Amino acid sequence: MERQELRAAGSLAAVFSVRLLGLFMIYPVFAAYAGGLSHANSYLIGEALGIYGLTQGVLQIPFGLLSDKVGRKVMIVAGLILFALGSAIAAVSTSIGGVIVGRALQGSGAVGSVILALVADLTSEENRTKAMAMVGITIGASFMIALGTGPIVATFVGVRGIFWLMVGLGFVGVAITLWAVPNPPRLRVHRDAETVPALIGAALRNGELLRLDFGIFVLHAMLTAGFLVVPGLLRATLHIPARGQWMVYLPVLIVSIIAMLPAIIVAERYRRMKAVFVSAVAVLAVSQAMLYFGSGNLFVLLAALTIFFSAFNVMEASLPSLITKVAPPDAKGTAMGLYSSLQFLGVFAGGLVGGLAHQHGGSAGVFALTAIVALIWLVVAATMAQPSFLTTRLLPVADEKTKDSEGLAAKLRQVPGVAEAVVIPAERLAYLKVDSALFDAALAQSLAGAS
């Protein structure tokens, strides 16, 4: 990657991470804190934990589309200010209702799609995949760091302090956006990174994509519902408050990351993606059954958490990869946009329904619910088609070649290693799905005619 591209990808990954750190840092400590707020009950605590997912999921795509018109940085700064404002409201609120309002406002700054669009603006077609991978790795690392360090931070500043920390992180993100992120030379719609409204209908009719969207919805619903009750179970079995439970989460997360790596290597290198994917869903279901039947036993509880997060990490890594394999070459951005929205809506559903189950059935009610949902997901996953091991490639097209886009696409489909090809004349780009081991890049470039 060029130095300017590295700067762009690194600074935008930093913007993503400072926001996620704040959002997920409160997960392990929120339920215990919210129980002391006025008018709180189990249902409203769940709503407060998950409500940011509703506004985030609903506004993710509109934020991205609006950024095409008013500018990427404008929307990122506006979203981060909304995030900071919501964090401040949650910090000063003494009632559960005030925290719900603050969390909803936090989520309304739905800048994820805008950040990815700006990454695309600032990188060349051949380096865009690397830049997106850099952002994706940062997101995953931020999530794990936040869960592991949240209780440690709460020990020193409390949960209110974490909310104030979010305010600070929001303005750090603004500063990075304004002064570290390069200005794009021009704004373009990137079908590999953005949602295209005309393609949403086709994406929603694609059964394989819907299976994956259902998966990320269920995965984050299970995570959110679990954090409504797991801190209380750890407190009952280990006799340590939520703020001291980093001693449990940190080793569990480290072991889960180590366990994830062989599974991903087998899935990608040895092309066993479906087998690994279905196995991970089955393991998730087993972990929820263990929590339902044996959550009162310390060893069962710790084993179930380790198993859950190991499978969770496998799914977090494999689901985006599957989306890119399944989506049509010119609709990858649209597929990823819908996937991201369903992920956040899953957070909301997990908080809302998990809180309701907790209020009426206790921790057993929550785990009965998540176990049933995991079994439904297992059936859905088992019926998925064997994924192709294809990657998306973008190929610049010479002006004169765009006059016969259908003819060029037909020629490109004849190139060794090319499975699908779509040429978009207005963008002067060809979107290809290729088998990297067989792809004749030189022949494809000569056909496209761009230097």
Identify whether the C-beta of residue 275 lies closer than 8 Å to the C-beta of residue 263. Answer: no
Reduced to 3 states, what is the DSSP secondary structure of residue 127?
coil
Sign of CA dihedral 360, 366, 367, 370: positive
Q: What is the mean pLDDT of residues 36-61?
A: 96
Are residues 299 and 152 part of one domain? no
Cα angle 184, 188, 193 (rounded to 5 degrees) comes to 95
Are residues 322 and 279 part of one domain? yes
Count of domains forming the chain: 3
Query: Of the residues 194, 225, 248, which one is the last residue of a structural domain?
Result: 194
Are residues 181 and 224 part of one domain? no
pLDDT per position as a tens digit, 232-253: 999 999 888 888 899 999 999 9
pLDDT at 58: 96
When the pLDDT of each residue in the chain is averaged and rounded to a whole number, the result is 92
Are residues 164 and 87 part of one domain? yes
Residue 406 has pLDDT above 80, yes or no: yes
Domain interval for residue 359? 203-389
Q: Any idea what the CATH number is for the domain that residue 407 is in? A: 3.30.70
- Which contiguous run of DSSP H or E holds residue 432? strand 429-434
Query: Of the residues 163, 194, 225, which one is the last residue of a structural domain?
Result: 194
Are residues 238 and 158 part of one domain? no
> Measuring CA to CA, which residue among 10, 181, 174 is closest to residue 80?
174
Are residues 236 and 144 part of one domain? no
pLDDT at 451: 58
Residue 4 C-beta-side C-alpha neighbours within 13 Å? 9
pLDDT per position as a tens digit, 408-434: 999 999 999 999 999 999 888 999 999
213 vs 20, higher pLDDT: 213
Are residues 213 and 149 part of one domain? no
Q: What is the mean pLDDT of residues 118-133?
A: 87
Are residues 45 and 178 part of one domain? yes
Residue 186 has pLDDT above 80, yes or no: no
Q: What is the mean pLDDT of residues 53-65?
A: 94
Residue 297 has pLDDT above 80, yes or no: yes
Query: Of the residues 194, 221, 255, which one is the last residue of a structural domain?
Result: 194
Q: What is the mean pLDDT of residues 42-48?
A: 97
Q: What is the mean pLDDT of residues 291-317?
A: 94
Chain position carrying tokens 């977090």: 316
Measured distance between the N- and C-terminal CA atoms of the chain, rounded to whole angstroms:
18
Residue 5 C-beta-side C-alpha neighbours within 13 Å? 16
Minimum mean pLDDT among 72-76, 184-188, 342-346, 371-375: which range? 184-188
Q: Which two tokens stand for residue 374?
A: 């995991």
Are residues 178 and 42 part of one domain? yes
> pLDDT over 70 for what percent of the chain?
100
Q: Any idea what the CATH number is for the domain that residue 161 is in? A: 1.20.1250.20
Helix boundaries (H) for 187-245? 197-204, 207-238
pLDDT at 105: 96
Identify whether the C-beta of residue 429 lies closer than 8 Å to the C-beta of residue 396. Answer: yes
User: How many Å apart are CA 122 and CA 192, to the nearest integer?
Assistant: 14
Question: How confident is residue 190, by pLDDT bands cut at 50, 70 and 90?
Answer: confident
Are residues 252 and 139 part of one domain? no
> Measuring CA to CA, which residue among 163, 286, 281, 288 is closest to residue 225?
288
pLDDT per position as a tens digit, 77-105: 999 999 999 999 999 999 999 999 999 99
Are residues 320 and 402 part of one domain? no
The burial class, CB within 10 Å (0-12 / 13-18 / 19+), for 239 is: exposed
Are residues 238 and 129 part of one domain? no
Question: How confident is residue 179, by pLDDT bands cut at 50, 70 and 90?
Answer: very high
Reduced to 3 states, what is the DSSP secondary structure of residue 184?
coil
